[in-house]
Amino acid sequence: MPLLLLDLDNTLLDRAAAFRSWAEDFAGGLDGSDADVAWLIEADRDGYEPREAFARAILERFGLGGTAAIRLADDLHRGMVDRMTLDPEVPRALTQARDAGWVPVVVTNGTTEQQERKIRHTGLESSVAGWVVSESAGVAKPDRRIFDLAARSAGLPLLGAWMVGDSGPADIGGAHRAGIASVWLHRGRSWTETAFAPSAIADDCAGAIDHIVTG
């Protein structure tokens, strides 16, 4: 049985849409403008900006303090989980993959509490065989050891596995280090890395899974 490794944020789940929804409500509650929403999205850097630094930047931009600061820290820590939804095409594709003998395992960077809440909130847990989160694993993508841990957790060899993700450095770079094939979700971007490249490029996660399963 081959192993199907999948990133979580902006791969299995649309974190960008959830964050935009939060940013629009947050800025709107402060009579903010479209420019403020755009600033929040850019400053968030797809979740890669450290939360403490991001919170400080928001407080400074909007002149907030007191209870607003406490609420903001909580919102950022919880990762807008309640706003995340699962595209029906994703469990459909995962079911097809499992029926074809593939074993899907989530491999994600982030905090264990936050990432597991996303998986359970969206019902994704019923569509995958398991998950490995960098905080619990003690190692993060692109280090190949997290891919080895995912394979061991499933009781399968890493050889012959595929990785699906939206991050060039973390997901595709990690797959390259692990010596496995990969599909990159372009999200409207062009591939710019020169040291490695994905085996294939797809519009979305379901399409990537279909490509792998159907060959």
pTM, to two decimals:
0.93
How confident is the model over 82-117, as pLDDT tens digits? 899 999 999 999 999 999 999 999 999 999 999 999
pLDDT class of 68 with cuts at 50, 70, 90: confident
How confident is the model over 121-137, as pLDDT tens digits? 999 999 999 999 999 99
pLDDT class of 75 with cuts at 50, 70, 90: confident
Tokens linked to 163: 């990785």
Distance CA 191, CA 127 (A): 29
Alpha helices (H) along the chain:
15-29, 34-44, 51-62, 67-78, 89-99, 112-121, 134-137, 144-154, 173-178, 205-214
pLDDT class of 190 with cuts at 50, 70, 90: very high
How confident is the model over 156-178, as pLDDT tens digits? 999 999 999 999 999 999 999 99
Is the model's pLDDT at 79 over the cut of 80? Answer: no
Mean pLDDT, residues 194-207: 98
Report how far Cα 192 is from the mean position of its chain's Cα atoms: 20
* CA nearest neighbour of 116 among 81, 147, 72: 81
Q: What is the pLDDT of residue 167?
A: 97
Q: What is the pLDDT of residue 110?
A: 92
pLDDT class of 70 with cuts at 50, 70, 90: confident
Residues 140 and 147: beta-carbon distance below 8 Å: no
| Averaged pLDDT of the chain | 95
Distance CA 90, CA 165 (A): 13
Is the model's pLDDT at 154 over the cut of 80? Answer: yes
Mean pLDDT, residues 14-23: 95
Q: What is the pLDDT of residue 78?
A: 78
Max Cα–Cα distance, the chain, nearest Å: 55
Lowest average pLDDT, out of 6-10, 24-28, 49-53, 84-88, goes to: 49-53
Mean pLDDT, residues 74-84: 84
Strand 162-165 and strand 130-133: pairing? Answer: unpaired
